[in-house]
Each structure stands twice: as C-alpha cells, then as structure tokens.
Amino acid sequence: MIEAAGLTKRYGEKTAVDGVTFTVHPGKVTGFLGPNGAGKSTTMRMIVGLDRPTAGTVTVNGRPYAKHRRPLAEVGALLDAKAVHTGRTAYNHLLAMAATAGISRHRVDEVIELTGLQAVARKRVGGFSLGMGQRLGIAAALLGDPRTLILDEPVNGLDPEGVVWVRNLAKYLASEGRTVFLSSHLMSEVALTADHVIVIGRGRIIADAPVQDVVDGASRRLVRVRSPQATDLAELLTRDGATVTSGGPGLLEITGPDAASVGELAAASRIVLHELTPVASTLEEAYMALTADSVEYQSEDLATADQAAAERAAEQELVAEGDHR
Amino acid sequence: MSATVTAPGGRPVSSRTAERVSVRPVTFVRVLRSEWIKFWTLRSTWWTLGATVVLMVGLALLFAMAISAIPADDTAAQEGMAAGGVVGPTIVTLGSEFAQLVVAVLGALVVTGEFSTGMIRSTFAAIPGRISALWAKLVVLLAVTAVVSAVGVALAYVATAGMLDDLGLPVDFGDADQVRALVGAVLYLMAVAAFSLGVGALLRHTAASIGVLMAVFFVLPIVFQIIVAASGADWAVDVNAYLPSVAGEQIMSGGPTQEGRLEPWTGFSVLAGYTAALLAAAAVSLKTRDA
C-alpha cells in the first residue's frame, strides 16, 4: 500500500510534481501512466526517500520509507536500470545489496536465476545491454521478497520475451497480494498489465480509476458516415447538437450520437447512407486525449511524431505477438 | 494469462515449498559488510592500493640511491641534509608524498564512483538512513589504508635498510621521534583518505573531487613554498603552515621542527580537524540533498 498526500516537488521555479494525492492498493497491478517529464520518476523517487518532497507526505505500508527497519522487505524498487556501479559484476552488486539486510547468498543465486541472468552474472555491469540492466534492476528489487514493488518503466529495452515475462511477473506478484506500482509512458503496456491506472500529466493527477473506466471515460464516440446527401445530413445532425466534421467529399465524422441514432435520423429524413461505421477509440487514443494538454515536450518535428507513432505500433504488434505465445 | 510464472530460464518465480526469504533489519555491521564487499569488488581498488605500495617502496629506494650517490667529501650536501632534518625515517616515508595522491583518488572514488554511476540510489534505497553508509565507507577506507600504508612503510624500510646503514642514517627504533615519524606516515595517509572521502561526498563528482584534492595536496604546497621563498611574508608562512598537507606531514618529521612549521602532533591535529569538519559537512549534505 502506497499513500501519497499533497505530494509536491519543486526544482527552483519548475514544479515537477504538483500536490498529487493517490493510493496504490495491494493485490493488483497499478499502472502509473504519463508522458515523459510528467513527474512519474520524481514521484517514485520520493516514495523511496531518494528525493525529499517540497511539500506533502508519502508512506509505504503505513510509514515513511526511511522509517522501515527492513526496507528491502517492504519495497523492491527498480527506479533506474543504471543505478548500479558499472565496474562491479551483477553477482557482486546483488551480494552487496543483500548484505545490508542479511539476505543469504542462496537468495542472490535465486534472483539471478529468476531473472535469467546466469550467463552474465559474473560479468561487469558496464557491458550490459539495456535489457540486461533492467533484468538486474528487477533482480535487485526482488531480493528481499518485498510486499510492495515499484517499477519505473520496467519493460524499457527488454526483448519481446522479456516484456511478456515482466508483464506476467507483475500480475503474479499482485495475485500474491503484493502492491505492484508500475510506470510507463505507453498506454498499451499499462492496459495489458495493470488493473488500475493513475494518469499523471505535468505533475498533476489526471485520472485515477480502473483501466476500463479510463478508456471509456476518455473515449470520444465517433461515427463515420458516407452519404450522397452528406450536406443535408450534416445540417440535421448539427441541429440535434452533434459535432460534425467533413472527412472528404460525402464523408462525415460525427461526434455525439451513436451509430444507431445517426442511422435512425437518416432513415426518418429519407437520406441514403453508403456507410455507417462506429469508430471505436483505442486505448492509445484515450490516453492521447487525456494527456493532450499536459504533454511537457510537444514534438514539433513531424519526423519525430511519426517515429513515435511507429514505435507505438511496433510495441502493439509486439504485445500481440507476446499474447499468442 | 498463464497461472504459473517462469523465468526465462524456466524456473518458477517462487515455489510453494520455498520458505520465506529471511530479511533482517539494517544494522551498522550489515552496512559495513556491504561496503566491504563493494570496496573489494572494484578494480580501481586493486590498482590504487597496488600503486600506493609501489610508490612508497619505489620512491624510498630512489631517494636512498640518490643520497648514496652523493660523494662523501661533498660537505655542502651533507650539511644541507643535516640542516633539513633528513634522518632514516625521512627517506623511508618519502614515498608517502606521492602515494598520498593515489590514496586521495581512492578515497574520493569510494563515494563519487557511486554518484557517477547512479549506484548511490541503490545504496540509499537499501540504507535509507544514509549516514551509516558514509561511516561504513570511512571505516573500510581507514582500515584498508592503515594496513596498506603500513605494508608500504615496512617494505620501504626493508628495501632501504642496507643503504641507510651505509649512509650512517639507520632508522633508530629506540628514538621516539623516529618511530613516530614511521607510524606518522600511516596516520597521515589514513587522514588523507578520510579527507578525500569527505571531499568526494560533498562534491559528488569524480573529476571535480580529484581536481580539488590535487590542488590541496599537490599544487597549493608548491605555490606557497614559492611565495614563502620569494617574499618571506609572515602571512604566507602562517598560511603555509596550516595547509592540510603541510600541517599533516609534520607527523612524519624525524628531526627538530623547522621554522615556520607546526609541531608534529599539532600539525596532524590540524589536518584531522579539517577532515572531521569535511566529514561532518558531508554527512549533512548526504542526509539533506536529493540522491
């Protein structure tokens, strides 16, 4: 259980986290979703006491993180895959971490095996790929068999197999009654993994609800209609309060009424329809709609935007592939 | 989704039969054990410690050979050495002048290496009290520096003993000042290590810390030596005497205290005082600044 109340972090003039209040409950995976720079990592660092809040409080399992006598048994945190000395081997890193809590070598071997690091455990971390670094971070987070897991962008840099593995691991840990708090800037990732989602943008909580509710709440109902009498239909619909945009000659995109209402209205007015399609909004669209006003770093460059879109598409493909396994 | 979760290696996350992982409270002894592991599992530790011993032995040997090469009838040189208070231990401990720079790098790296790599976040997440991590680093660093510099002094003595006898400058273990000078080399290097840990913890940056330490232990003494020699100004003499390295190195003086220098223990106390102040500031900084 993680409870934040009025949590705020300012760096000089800039407010990174702006009075956020939320609770992360045990027994389910809670996604922490937001664009880059929205304040996810800062919030997570404040939870484990690495950054001191400017205002507000945050507790883990009932008390501030620093007050726990056995912190590794309370919280396992993957905050940054690079929070490891590059000159040390993975095994020695875990051994040193374990020593602070009297955790056995046996457990160190166990988490190495668990995260599939056997082959590289005796190699220095400096040579690790991003994916191996993530696995090591997850291994360190699991060391103390913690009641609460905080994972900042855990699938970053993982191969498809690793992505599916992290997803299943998060769900499995939650099913054991643990609190799992996992951040991502990808809605698709959160939708596949989380039961509940907290959306953050520009340091403020935008939504805090079950994943399905967020999707439903943010979806705009869009109906696409093709008709030779498009102008007449548009006029009728507008009079009824719908928002109508033209998507080309004879093509309308209608927001407001659902497909059935549009069809009935057309029939009543003896307007011929060539197409009547309800367009379901995707999770990605819901997320974009939610965070549209709160994106810190708007991409100006079309190429960048296209690339991001391509990355998302690839991610979704990858996700679909994973599910078929 | 599947009910059992397996690692990429095929093993289950936690089997139903496995006992709970035993996690004990964070204590200073456990933090110390962790820092001990961290210290010895980096290559930089091994090469800095190796370099310390090599410099201590090598320079003592070079100095002894250089003095042996002075002709016995060069009375000016002989008198100069006597006036400079050169005794056996002076030659044996000479290498610490250079070894201190390596020890300073080691002391700084122990903490700046964690900041530069991000390791410090793992450390502080495991040890949320933070301060005990600094003290544990200090204990490990002091213990290892003590042993390694003692080994360095001992080997330097063994390597030069024959030449010192020939020069008529044998180390006199019955002379309290000479013994203090030998032990002083160990104490001095320990103080330098602790001082450097403090600087590293305050600056959190490897290059900046090493730059400051080189200035303090290498550049400043030379600059002030020149100013004092050129001007003889009182203020310059006073400042020079209280420089961390100049004051601290007095603990290694084997003869009577030269003019414009502090007494051996007074000088060492000054260095120890700077070190304590730095470490106190470092503790406050670690506790209050974001990691």
- With a pLDDT cut of 90, the percent of chain A lying above it is 57
List CB contacts (< 8 A) between A80 and chain B: 118, 121
Burial of A229 (0-12, 13-18, 19+ CB in 10 A): middle
- For residue B256 the two structure tokens come to 């009577």
Which residue on chain A is closest to B121 by alpha carbon?
A: A83
> pLDDT at residue B13 above 60?
no
Whether B214 shows a pLDDT value over 90: the answer reads yes
In this prediction, residues A266-287 reach a mean pLDDT of 80
What DSSP state is assigned to residue A63? B
- Cα dihedral sign, A93-A97-A100-A104: negative
Q: What is the pLDDT of residues B156-172, one digit of tens each?
A: 999 999 999 988 888 99
Among the residue ranges A306-315, B51-60, B147-156, the one predicted with the least confidence is A306-315
Band of pLDDT at residue A285, cut at 50, 70 and 90: low
pLDDT of residue A322 exceeding 50, the answer is no
**Residue pointed to by tokens 């493909």:** A317
Architecture per CATH, domain A221-279, reads as 2-Layer Sandwich (3.30)
Residue of chain A whose Cα is closest to the Cα of B114: A85
The answer to whether the CB atoms of A70 and B23 lie below 8 A apart is: yes
Look at residue B10 in the predicted model and tell me its pLDDT.
45
Which residues of chain B neighbour A140 with C-beta distances below 8 Å? 122
| Cα(A64)–Cα(A60) distance, integer angstroms | 6
Q: What is the mean pLDDT of residues A110-115?
A: 95
Residue of B nearest to A98 (CA): B34
Percent of chain B topping pLDDT 90: 77
pLDDT digits (tens, 9 = 90+) for A56-76: 999 999 999 999 999 999 999
A301 SS3 class: coil
A84 with B37: Cβ contact below 8 A: no
Q: Are strands A196-201 and A29-33 parallel, antiparallel or unpaired?
A: parallel
Structural domain boundaries in chain B: 28-288
Specify the pLDDT at position A299.
54
What pTM does this model have? 0.84
**Residue owning tokens 């209608």:** A254
Average pLDDT estimate for A298-303:
50
Structure confidence by residue, pLDDT tens digits, B75-123:
777 777 777 778 889 999 999 999 999 999 999 999 999 999 999 999 9
For A113, name the nearest residue in chain B, comparing CA atoms only. Answer: B9
Measured N-to-C along each axis, helices A105-114 and A90-99 cross at an angle, to the nearest 10 degrees, of: 130
Q: What is the pLDDT of residue A109?
A: 96
A164-190 residue pLDDT tens? 999 999 999 999 999 999 999 888 888
pLDDT at A314: 52
**Mean pLDDT of all residues in chain B?**
90
Give the mean pLDDT of B54-72: 91
A45/B114 Cβ within 8 A: no
The phi, psi pair for A127, rounded to 5°, reads: -95, 5
Average pLDDT (B12-37) is: 80
Out of B34, B125, B288, name the one closest to residue A99 (CB).
B34
CB contact under 8 A, A101 and B5: no
Dist CA B53 CA B19 (whole Å)? 47
- Residue B107's CB: how many other CB atoms inside 10 A? 32
Q: What is the pLDDT of residue A259?
A: 84
Distances (CA, A) of B103 to A205, B9, B183, B190: 50, 43, 17, 8
- With beta carbons under 8 A apart, name residues in chain B contacting A93: 122
Query: What whole-number distance in Å separates Cα of residue A74 and Cα of residue A61?
Result: 7
Find tokens 């912190």 and name the residue.
A71
Distance from CA of A83 to the nearest CA of B (A): 4
Domain boundaries, chain A: 2-213, 221-279
Q: Do A295 and A35 form a contact (C-beta atoms < 8 A)?
A: yes
Higher per-residue pLDDT: A276 or B137: B137
Which of A89, A100, A122, A151 is the best residue to mutate to test the B interface, defined by the most B CB atoms within 10 Å of its own CB? A100
Query: Would you call A101 and B30 a contact, using CB atoms and an 8 Å cutoff?
Result: yes
Q: Quote the percentage of chain A above a pLDDT of 70.
A: 84
The distance of B124 to chain A (nearest Cα, Å) reads 7
Partner-chain residue, chosen from B38, B128, B290, that has the shortest CB–CB distance to A71: B128
Residues of chain A in contact with residue B118, where contact means CB-CB under 8 angstroms, are: 80, 82-84
Question: For residue A104, which residues of chain B lie inside 8 Å, CB to CB?
Answer: 22
The complex scores an ipTM of 0.90
Higher pLDDT, B5 or B179: B179
pLDDT at residue A144 tops 70: yes
pLDDT for A207: 86
Superfamily of domain A2-213: P-loop containing nucleotide triphosphate hydrolases (3.40.50.300)
With CB atoms and an 8 Å threshold, state whether B118 touches A95: no
pLDDT confidence tier of residue A294, bands split at 50, 70 and 90: low
Does A144 contact B24 at a Cβ distance shorter than 8 Å?
A: no
Asked whether the beta carbons of residue A100 and residue B126 sit closer than 8 angstroms, the reply is yes
Q: Could you tell me how far CA B215 lies from the centroid of its own chain? A: 15
